Chain A
Amino acid sequence: MTATQAGEARAGVEVRLEDLRRSYAGVTALDGLSLTLAPGELVALLGPSGCGKTTAMRLVAGLEEANSGRVMFGGRDVTGLPANKRDVGMVFQAYSLFPHMAAWENVAFGLQIRHVATGERKQRALDMLELVGLGKYANRYPSQLSGGQQQRVALARALAIRPQVLLLDEPLSALDAKVRSRLRDEIRRVQLEVGITTLFVTHDQEEALAIADRVGVMQSGRLEQLGPPTEIYSRPATPFVADFVGLTNRMRGDVGGGAIKIRGASIPLVHPDVPDGPAIALVRPEAVSLVTDGEIEEGPLVGTVIAVVFLGAVSRVTVDLGDATVLAQMQTSAASQTPAGTKVRLAFRNDPVLIQREEQAAPASA
């Protein structure tokens, strides 16, 4: 199947979740989730275990019923429809292929239910397997496929019925890192080719940031922030988002005049109109730089490098300030100038930071 053919098969529809609520035995799993996915958009719901992201997906799929709220596909209310009438394609975490069917039979299964003629359904199944790069494996059984190949077959199966909406429930979590990264790109390529509106659930921030048009960060059944990956990372709306997405240094300081003073250095605040007083600043490692030029005199921002972690193009350097440690992230070429034992002075980029009050916060590192 070519990209055009796949795209013509079904244009994406708008998906709207309106004030969805769900609780289990008195425990709230979803607390008024509202979210709109534009046609053809891929939105990733990101959050820790138990934040409600999978519940949200299952409500969209119709595998569970909401206590209240609505699910709309293209302006049509599907809240009361059972899963088999919703016209969604779903890829599960793992082990969802039917083990007694060959790959092409798995892909053709939804078409068989729709009474598509045998010849046509086989051809469409083979087309879908080609689309996910598994044309040669059509006659293999799931037990003869690797984990990544199985998930690609599951993706082909979900798309073969030309659903209105594609739901991906942590489809990469059972795979090893290399396969995960490759399949993530593959899923995105296919999603863009087909142009299907997609909801992707994951607890892996790197995955969410890499694949999605927009990322929704969830906590305790609520959406903390929804926005493009760059915004989520660089302008987190809440301390939880700042803490959950990416690494964060938690540094004690004093708020005053729209800035926070940390060990003598002043950094502007994202929300400047907050009361003065002690607080914890959430500072990204890449906003911390290391000064090694000239003679380094003792001071509150002077410390010793205790570890350098090579991450490829960038490296992460841990600096011991005596009473706390701080992470700094920089180009590997720069980090190589500060091996363990080097005396350095910290400097902060002038990017606005979020703060947390002591009583709300987890223990600070600095």
Chain B
Amino acid sequence: MVPFFLYVGLFLLLPTVVIAGGSFADKNGSLTVSNLTSIEQAYLVKSFVNSAIISVASALVGAIAGALLAYAVATGNPRGALRRIVTSASGVFAQFGGVTLVFAFIATLGTVGIVTVFLKDHGIDIFPNGVWLYELSGLTLIYTYFQIPLMVLVFLPALDGIRPQWREATESLGGSTWHYWRYVAAPLLAPAFLGCTLLLFANAFSAYATAAVLLTQGGVIVPLQISNLFTSETGQAQPGLAKALALAMIAIVTIVMLLYALLQRRTSRWLR
């Protein structure tokens, strides 16, 4: 247990304490709450709203697409190639992000990306109203690239916990496929699905590298805003405010993860 607590202490608790402490300190180190009250400024609220929008959108798309893919895997051969390939690939792609991921998207869906050019050659313009790849919608699309495999990884155990006897019991009791999904499978999977969606939300909400590479200007989302406040090129750095924003993010992610843990606990009781 000592290595665990050492690790958690050094890489989770200590940074949190530093951030929390910094949130309540002004430039001279004096105690203040102005950093926290400053979060109410419109441009900061806007970045929170943007972060929430992109996190919700990519979490929903990732959750639905990932759940469908996980279902295909769960209902296939447990020792088959599909499961091996999808789970291995998901393990890699769920961690894919930053420069390489953004470059991959620019190379394929950028203004001169191979897919963009190919579609344009065939009369399809994917940017009829401007290049959306470098906006929130583009960032959402890129986020789904790692959200879908993450959903596969975290939702697959819940699907594996669904026993074939439950479907057969439903059928023998006179139920149809609709009855099975409506009264048995969906209620059993709902907490897991919701929990995993929350995890995806937290994953997107706290993502930084990919957005930093794609959106080089401005603080569109909170992590970029924090970065800007730390590293202002005009000498306007506000580390206290940056830490206050980080503290708010920690609070949001903590709440989300607590809900996730709560739902997972309920699911694990049912789907042992």
Q: Hey, which chain B residues are within 8 Å of A89, CB to CB? A: 172-173
Confirm or deny: A200 has a beta carbon within 8 angstroms of a beta carbon on chain B: no
CA distance A97 to B163 in the complex (A): 10
Confirm or deny: B129 has a beta carbon within 8 angstroms of a beta carbon on chain A: no
Q: Hey, which chain A residues are within 8 Å of B171, CB to CB? A: 62-63, 82-84
CA distance A95 to B165 in the complex (A): 7
Contact B168 A114 (CB under 8 A): no
Query: Per-residue CB proximity of B165-206 to A under 8 Å, as 1/0?
Result: 110111111111001000110011000000000000000000
Contact A99 B183 (CB under 8 A): no
In the complex, besides A61-B172, A96-B165, A113-B179, 13 extra interface pairs with C-beta distance below 8 angstroms are A63-B171, A84-B171, A84-B172, A84-B174, A86-B172, A89-B173, A90-B169, A96-B166, A98-B166, A98-B169, A98-B183, A112-B183, A161-B174
Contact B172 A158 (CB under 8 A): yes
Contact B183 A109 (CB under 8 A): yes
Q: Hey, which chain B residues are within 8 Å of A87, CB to CB? A: 174
CA distance A180 to B270 in the complex (A): 25
CA distance A112 to B175 in the complex (A): 9
CA distance A97 to B171 in the complex (A): 13
For window 130-186 of B, CB contacts with A under 8 Å fall at 163, 165-166, 168-176, 179, 183-184
Min CB distance, B101 to chain A, in Å?
39
Q: Hey, which chain A residues are within 8 Å of B172, CB to CB? A: 61, 63, 83-84, 86, 88-90, 158, 167
Contact A100 B163 (CB under 8 A): no
Query: Per-residue CB proximity of A76-111 to B under 8 Å, as 1/0?
Result: 000000111111111011011111100000000110
Closest 5 CB pairs of A and B: A110-B173, A83-B171, A90-B172, A96-B165, A99-B270
CA distance A98 to B179 in the complex (A): 13
CA distance A84 to B271 in the complex (A): 25
CA distance A87 to B165 in the complex (A): 17
Contact B163 A84 (CB under 8 A): no
Q: Hey, which chain A residues are within 8 Å of B174, CB to CB? A: 84-85, 87, 110, 113-114, 161
Confirm or deny: A143 has a beta carbon within 8 angstroms of a beta carbon on chain B: yes
Min CB distance, A176 to chain B, in Å?
19
Confirm or deny: A284 has a beta carbon within 8 angstroms of a beta carbon on chain B: no
CA distance A110 to B173 in the complex (A): 5
Q: Hey, which chain A residues are within 8 Å of B165, CB to CB? A: 92-93, 95-96
For window 199-258 of A, CB contacts with B under 8 Å fall at none
Confirm or deny: B122 has a beta carbon within 8 angstroms of a beta carbon on chain A: no
Confirm or deny: B269 has a beta carbon within 8 angstroms of a beta carbon on chain A: yes
Of all chain B residues, the one with the shortest Cβ separation from A83 is B171
Contact B176 A99 (CB under 8 A): no
Q: Hey, which chain A residues are within 8 Å of B179, CB to CB? A: 113
B interface residues (Cβ-Cβ under 8 A, vs A): 163, 165-166, 168-176, 179, 183-184, 187-188, 269-271
Contact A92 to B187, CB < 8 A, known contacts A110-B173, A157-B173, A161-B173: no
Q: Hey, which chain B residues are within 8 Å of A112, CB to CB? A: 183
Contact A98 B173 (CB under 8 A): no
Min CB distance, A234 to chain B, in Å?
36
Contact A113 B270 (CB under 8 A): no
CA distance A170 to B176 in the complex (A): 25
Min CB distance, A178 to chain B, in Å?
24
CA distance A293 to B152 in the complex (A): 77
Contact B168 A63 (CB under 8 A): yes
CA distance A98 to B188 in the complex (A): 9
Min CB distance, A314 to chain B, in Å?
38
30 pairs, CB–CB < 8 Å, chain A vs chain B: A62-B171, A63-B171, A63-B172, A82-B171, A83-B168, A83-B172, A84-B172, A84-B173, A84-B174, A84-B175, A87-B174, A89-B172, A89-B173, A92-B165, A93-B165, A95-B163, A96-B165, A96-B166, A96-B169, A98-B166, A98-B188, A99-B188, A99-B270, A99-B271, A100-B270, A109-B173, A113-B179, A157-B169, A157-B173, A167-B172
Min CB distance, B166 to chain A, in Å?
6
Of all chain A residues, the one with the shortest Cβ separation from B165 is A96
Q: Hey, which chain A residues are within 8 Å of B183, CB to CB? A: 98, 109, 112
Contact A100 B187 (CB under 8 A): yes
CA distance A61 to B171 in the complex (A): 9
Of all chain A residues, the one with the shortest Cβ separation from B161 is A99
For window 3-58 of A, CB contacts with B under 8 Å fall at none
Q: Hey, which chain B residues are within 8 Å of A63, CB to CB? A: 168, 171-172
Contact A84 to B270, CB < 8 A, known contacts A63-B171, A98-B184: no
B175 contacts which of A62, A93, A113 (Cβ < 8 Å)? A113
CA distance A82 to B166 in the complex (A): 16
CA distance A98 to B161 in the complex (A): 12
CA distance A85 to B179 in the complex (A): 14
Q: Hey, which chain A residues are within 8 Å of B173, CB to CB? A: 84, 89, 109-110, 113, 157-158, 161
Min CB distance, A299 to chain B, in Å?
58
For window 102-154 of A, CB contacts with B under 8 Å fall at 109-110, 112-114, 143
- Residue in A87, A100, A157, A161 whose Cβ sees the most chain B Cβ within 10 Å: A100
Min CB distance, B271 to chain A, in Å?
7
For window 310-330 of A, CB contacts with B under 8 Å fall at none
Q: Hey, which chain A residues are within 8 Å of B188, CB to CB? A: 98-100
CA distance A161 to B269 in the complex (A): 28
B163 contacts which of A83, A85, A96, A113 (Cβ < 8 Å)? A96
Min CB distance, A322 to chain B, in Å?
51
